[in-house]
Structures are given as structure tokens and as C-alpha cells.
Structure 1
Amino acid sequence: MGFQVEAYQQALPLKSVFRIARGAKTQADVVVVTLTDGVYTGWGESVPYARYQESVQSVLEQIDQTAKSLATFEGDLSGVRARINAMPSGAARNVMDCALWDLVAKSQQKSVAQLLSLSTPAPCVTAQTLSIDTPEAMAAAAKALGHPPLIKVKLDNQDIVKKMQAIHLASPESQFIVDANEGWSIDDLKACGDNLKALNVILIEQPLPVGDDAGLIDYSCPVPLCADESCHTREELAYLKGRYDAVNIKLDKTGGLTEAYALAQEAQVMGFEIMLGCMVGSSLAMAPISLLSDCAKYVDLDGPLLIKTDRENGFAIKDGVMQPLNPALWGYPQSQVIL
């Protein structure tokens, strides 16, 4: 029989319009995969991202090509792993990799954390995200969050300091991550760095376009800088050294938990701080990466808070604190699920 794959698209409506520097969206278009060996079934979710030349259709096509070959494997988990690892990094490999980890946890009667020798997941602070709007609207949105410990602020290069001043005034005890999504120039960064530090900004994420960051080598920014779009896998780390202080690890960039775990380990050895990030998706998309929270200085896994209806057994997030993964969702054998 071999391994059987089912892949399908889901549209997850958002609570409100979500705006970043390069556009806006009202729903998350995700791909869900179930992978079965005939006895056990694992599943996963990924988010195809147009910025990386992906679409739902292109991801489904990649999955279909791999699925055909997996049907010839009879109980050969190592062969399945090798075939998935051979896929290009991105959303297709991510959802296949995470579905496989879930299947292995069930078939081997060990949690994914145990399989990777990771510490038992614990509650952690996660950023909560503000999308781009007017200073007044962003301040109101920040206030509505109830003064959480960490807020992530999406900003283009319009009124950077003015917007942050309004947000800081609305939530003065919070710390902030500013995410430019490649929307600034080096002059924008230099003009606002000192002001942002004074406004409790503790990290600036991807200020400059990918490949246009040579100016960071000789610039000592008052606020630590994090590579997001510039960092997909371990291959970029040598280039990023000397330009960025931290790397944002996302499953849809690495191509799944396997590479994300390896990237986190190597990045730490090279002196980078670790940030865990996500695309806008459900708790199923956050589940695998949440297992790495113990090694991360910054966690930004609030995707489930942005969609109208999350998965059953999804993450509990209250006052900026994210509870550990529910064993009934992903990554645990059924014997460890308490009903």
C-alpha cells in the first residue's frame, strides 16, 4: 500500500484586514496535508507565500509529485524522510515534513519533543501583532490588546516614529518588535533608530530589502536587527553574520521542523539570537515550531489570534502568554492525549 497523502486547500477568514508593508489580506489561504502509513495518520498545515513565488496551486502540485513516489514505500520511514528532505525548502516541504513528524510520533509512541530530545514545552510570551494603519488606529488597537508584554508592529516607511509614539503612549509598559517587511531604506533606519530605542522597541525585523543590506555591515544600529525574508535555511547564515543580530525562523521558509531545528542549533553556535515566527495560519501551523520556544529569545506565534475560527484544541493565548501545545492537536501519540 505504501504511504498515502491527501492535500487540500482551506480558506481561513481573518478577524479584520491584515496589512503589512507589501499588501493586505482578509483571509489566510492554507494547505493541509494528511499522511498515513495505513495504520497511523499525521497531519500538518502550511501557508504558501507569494513573496517566495508560491501559490496554493504550485504547492499542491509539488505535494502531488512527492505523494506519487511515497506510495511505493512500504513501511520505510527513512526513505520517506529522505524523499521529503529532497523537496525544495518552502511551504510544500513544510507541510509534508510536519505531517511526517506527527505520524512518527503516533507510530513510535513518543512525542515529537521526545523524538528531538527537546525540553518539555512550557508557557512563553508571544508577540501580538498590529497591522499597518493610521497612528490613531494603531494606538487604539494597541490599547485594545490590554498592555501585553510584547507587541509586534508592522510598519512601512510612512510616519515610522509618529506611529510608534502613538502606540507607545497607548501601551507604555509593553516592549515592541517593529517589522518593516523590507519596506525601508538604510536612511530610514538611520533616521529612526535612536527614537525607536527610546520607545521600548527591542528588535527591528527585516528593515531593508533582501540583497540590499550591505549598508548594515558598517552601521551599528541602536536596536538589534533581525533577518526574516533574508533567512530561510542554514545556507544564509554566513552571509547574515555581521549584518543581523537575530534570525527569524519560520517553518514555511525552512521547509519544516527538520530544517528549522537544525537552523536554530547552527544559528545559536554562530552567535545569533533566535526568533520564532509564523505566517498567518491556524494553531496547526504553529504547533511544530512552538516546540523550539525554549531556545528562542523572541516568539511571534500569534497567527491563531488573527483568524476568526481556530482549530479545535488550538493554542490558548491570554495576556500575551502562550500555553504549551495541546497534545490532542499535533505531535503526540494518542496514548498521551487526555480526553
Structure 2
Amino acid sequence: MTSSQMTGRLPMLVARIERWPIAGAFTISRGAKTEAVTVVAEISRGGHAGRGECVPYPRYGETVEATLAAIEAMREPFAGGLDREGLQALMPPGAARNALDCALLALEAKTAGQRAWDLLGRPAPAPCVTAYTISLGTPEAMAAATARVAQRGLLKIKLGGDGDGMRIAAVRAAAPECELIVDANEAWTADNLEPNLAACAAAGVTLVEQPLPAGKDEALAQIRRPIAVCADESVHDRKSLAGLRDRYDAVNIKLDKTGGLTEAMAMADAAQALGFQIMVGCMVATSLSMAPAMLLTPQARFVDLDGPLLLVRDRDDGLRYESSLIYPPEAALWG
């Protein structure tokens, strides 16, 4: 990048794929992975640059290569003056738009000499408790993993269907004082829904996330839910909220689903108006993915932004974590 490009009036867009090794393996009901593959977009203008990071998710039909191509295809629209409002109309929700939306917001904040939350008129995020994820495994392996982090205030337990009652009981025995939330990642069925919910309730679980497959979750409206149930794969942006009111008590807002912080903030406001509790979630990624989501934490009952803690290393100027506390980003990272 030359100095003339950096100081020119027209925005310059570059994008790249990054690979970040995971400490051990991250296992959910759909499989395991040993690295986080992210796509980073950087937009430069007038001597300032803003970055955004996204995680393409195969569950939603996304690939790393297609996401990178979708971002790079926006060079001409940005050169023509495309702004965040125009971006929402031009691109669908998803990972590619998330990286661009967050990069634009960071650039706007730097150009204005303000923090992103002040620029947007939102409350400044404060240090808050984030969940820490326990991967799916045998009851014994999950109990051992839980015991090593039992001092944390909030644990998110990955479950996977058969045997989940034994898994959650073993986890609770290993961490008797922790608040527990559960993520089944669509692995339960209408037949085992009620027994598994009962097992979670008996273990003192506070919230169960996406127990049934998206589009096949009608049974949630037909039972008495003993604990709160949160939509994840069933909810993406504001358009998907209204149809979930009889099935879910909470919604998990992830920037890679909403297509960026712009839609995520509007979705959080709409979800609160409909009476949903809010969970702020993430994919496994670096602090650059977590930082914009911190603006949603003042509205959230549950914060799950532990992605960098699952990596071998985070990027420079990463978020500050102290045990279960996560702190707002410094301007050197984002916003």
C-alpha cells in the first residue's frame, strides 16, 4: 500500500484469509476443528484504516473462498462512495457483510476521532462476564475439562443428543458453583427434548441454546419449557424474530449472522421490544471479531465472547481478559 493510496480521497479495500490454531480441538455436535479460519477486510481512506473480521460458516452455506470473493467484489462500489447504509441494501446478511460493516464503522470512528459507541450514540461497554466453552465429549472428559476452569463464573456446555443427561450431570458435579448454559447445536429431537430439558433443569442450567434443528423446532411451542430456551441457528436478523415468539425466550445475536454491527444493534433493540432476552455470541475467532460485539453487551443477559481464549494465540492489541471478565477494546484494535 503506497502513501498516495493511503491519503487518497477514494476508499481502498483489501481482504485476506487468516488461520489461527485452536488450543486442542473445538468440538460440537456437527464435528471438530483445530483452527479458526477468518477473513479480514481493511478499508483505508484519508490516512485512516478500519478493519473487520468474519468467520464464514458452512452451516449457512458459506465458504472462506466465496466470502473473500464477495468482499473483494465490493471494491468498485466503495470506490463509488458506498456507505454503511448502502451496504445493508447491497449485500445480504452474512459473514462477508459483517467484515465490511465493521471495517467501515472502525474507519468512521477513526476519521471522526471518536470511539465507535460515541459515534453511534450507544452506551459505552463496560467489563462484563463472558462464558467459557466446554467442548462436547464423554461425561468424564467434559467433567475433567470443567474442573480445570471451575473458578469461572459462567460456563457454556456443548451437548450433542444421546447421553446429554449424563454429560450435564457430570459437568455440574465438577463445577457446583458456576452458572451453566447449554448449547445443543440442533442435536436434540422432539423425542428427547423434554427429558434433556429436565436433566438440564435438574443440574441448575440457566439457558439452553438451539436444542432442535432450525425449521424443525415446532415442539418448543407445544411443551412447558422448564428453563429458558435461546434461538441461534433459527434466528439471523430482525426479519426472523417475529416468528419465534412462541418457541424461544432468548435470541443469540452474532455479527456473522446479522451481517455486521449495524444490523445487530437494530436487531437487539427489536428483540428487546418483543420481550426476548439477549445473548451476544461469537464464532471461534480473534479479538477483532469480538470487539464490535462488545457494543451489544450493555443490552445482553448472556455474553459469550470467548473465541480468543480458545486459540493458541490472539492477535496483537487483543482484548483484555481477566479470568471470566472481558474488557472493552482499545482503539488500536477496533473502533
TM-score normalised by the chain length of structure 1: 0.94
Provide the residue aligned with 2:159 in structure 1.
155
Specify which of 1, 4, 22 is matched with residue 14 of structure 1: 22
Structure 2 letter corresponding to 1:178: V
Deviation digits for residues 249-299 of structure 1, max 9, x if unmatched?
A: 000000000000000000000000000000000000000011110100000
Q: Which runs of 5+ in 1 are unaligned?
A: 74-78, 332-339
Specify which of 108, 114, 135 is matched with residue 112 of structure 2: 108
Deviation digits for residues 127-173 of structure 1, max 9, x if unmatched?
A: 00011111111111111113211100111002111011111111100
Does the aligned pair in 2 maintain the 1:233–1:260 contact within 8 Å? yes
Pairing 1:58-69 to 2, within 5 Å after superposition: 58-69=66-77
Q: How many residues align?
A: 326
Provide the residue aligned with 1:261 in structure 2.
265
Counterpart-to-counterpart distance in 2, 1:326 and 1:2: 27
SS at match of 1:201: coil
Provide the residue aligned with 1:91 in structure 2.
95
SS at match of 1:163: helix
Counterpart-to-counterpart distance in 1, 2:128 and 2:85: 33
Pairing 1:240-251 to 2, within 5 Å after superposition: 240-251=244-255
Does the aligned pair in 1 maintain the 2:236–2:258 contact within 8 Å? yes
Deviation at 1:186, TM superposition (A): 2.0
Provide the residue aligned with 2:129 in structure 1.
125
Counterpart-to-counterpart distance in 2, 1:168 and 1:215: 27
Pairing 1:29-48 to 2, within 5 Å after superposition: 29-48=37-56
Does the aligned pair in 2 maintain the 1:48–1:55 contact within 8 Å? yes
Does the aligned pair in 1 maintain the 2:150–2:174 contact within 8 Å? no
Structure 1 letter corresponding to 2:94: G
Counterpart-to-counterpart distance in 1, 2:241 and 2:85: 23
Calculate the aligned-residue CA RMSD, in Å. Answer: 1.1
Deviation at 1:213, TM superposition (A): 1.0
Structure 2 letter corresponding to 1:5: L
Deviation at 1:223, TM superposition (A): 1.1
Deviation digits for residues 234-255 of structure 1, max 9, x if unmatched?
A: 0011111111000000000000
Structure 1 letter corresponding to 2:30: R
Specify which of 174, 178, 183 is matched with residue 179 of structure 1: 183
Q: Which runs of 5+ in 2 are unaligned?
A: 1-8
Does the aligned pair in 1 maintain the 2:280–2:293 contact within 8 Å? yes
Counterpart-to-counterpart distance in 2, 1:193 and 1:60: 40
Provide the residue aligned with 1:316 in structure 2.
320
Deviation at 1:64, TM superposition (A): 1.5
Asked if 1:201 corresponds to 2:205, the answer is yes
SS at match of 2:230: strand
Counterpart-to-counterpart distance in 1, 2:282 and 2:57: 11
Asked if 1:221 corresponds to 2:188, the answer is no
Does the aligned pair in 1 maintain the 2:197–2:227 contact within 8 Å? yes
Structure 2 letter corresponding to 1:220: R
Counterpart-to-counterpart distance in 2, 1:308 and 1:50: 23
Structure 1 letter corresponding to 2:189: S
Specify which of 285, 288, 291 is matched with residue 287 of structure 1: 291
Say which is worse superposed, 210-219 or 266-275, in terms of deviation. 210-219
SS at match of 1:284: helix
Q: What percent identity do the matched residue pairs reach? A: 47
Counterpart-to-counterpart distance in 2, 1:295 and 1:253: 18
Provide the residue aligned with 1:70 in structure 2.
78
Counterpart-to-counterpart distance in 2, 1:108 and 1:18: 39
Provide the residue aligned with 2:235 in structure 1.
231
SS at match of 1:210: coil
